[in-house]
Amino acid sequence: MHDTRGHALVTGASSGIGAEIAREYARRGVPLVLTARRLDRLEALATELRARVPVEVIAADLSDPAAPAALVDTLDARGIAIRILANNAGYGVPGRYLKNDWRTHAQFQQVMVAAVAELTWRLLPSIRRFDDGRILNVASFAALMPSADGQTLYAPAKAWLVKFSESLAMENVDRGVHVTALCPGFTYSEFHDVTGTRGKMRVSPKLWLDAMDVAREGIDANERGDVLAVPGWRYRMLGTLVKLLPHRAAMALMARNSRKVRPVD
């Protein structure tokens, strides 16, 4: 292993929560590898962060099934060992299930599930070589709620990520590896701009989170060894309330209110 210190690999690092995760790790003195599709955005962020830590940039499109293996091959070729993996890359597909063609859904599942699973599998041996390996999986508060109209694949993908994190945490605790599923609610980022739904969102300003705060809380929770992290006291309170409701009542509540928050075509 050429890299004895270990880098943090952040996927989807070109904007939003991913960029703030990278900035937070840089503030903590952790060398970085940034990956996403948009090379220009990655280079701009890398230029900003290199004043603090070494930063490598690797452009990758995780909707390509060959991308995870190619990404790890590039890391190996550069002699970079990964100590921290932040699986952040993701997006939403607006509308109901039949509104989009199958290729759209297949690419979504490749990015949100298959690429995460493969990248983690390929990098876990490197992460386990360190005494303080870390995996931070950016899920969503949607994973902890009854699924809403128009979230046919998004919420299930994020719920999978929570369960994936729980199993990984138990499997690797004796190796000093902390695994955390970060479950933010509505967060100021490009997420709703990409899906074209920002103008339709009718959410109380009190429920919006700052991406920088989400990143910091997620990394702090991961360092503590928390398997689940829900930023913001309002979301933690709401999550507790939903657990206390009968499932039928929780489903009815979601059905009544989901379109108020996110109208579905």
Which residue of the set 91, 97, 154, 235 is catalytic?
154
Local structure of 25: helix, strand or coil: helix
CA distances from 127 to 6, 156, 250 (A): 8, 27, 39
* CA-angle at 113, arms to 37 and 196, nearest 5°: 55
CA 188 to chain CA centroid, Å, is 14
Token pair 């297949």: residue: 106
171 is written with which tokens? 């499997």
Clarify whether 154 is annotated catalytic: yes
d(CA 97, CA 105): 9
Put the strands of the sheet holding 82-87 in their side by side order: 55-59, 32-36, 7-11, 82-87, 134-138, 178-182, 228-229
Active site residues: 154
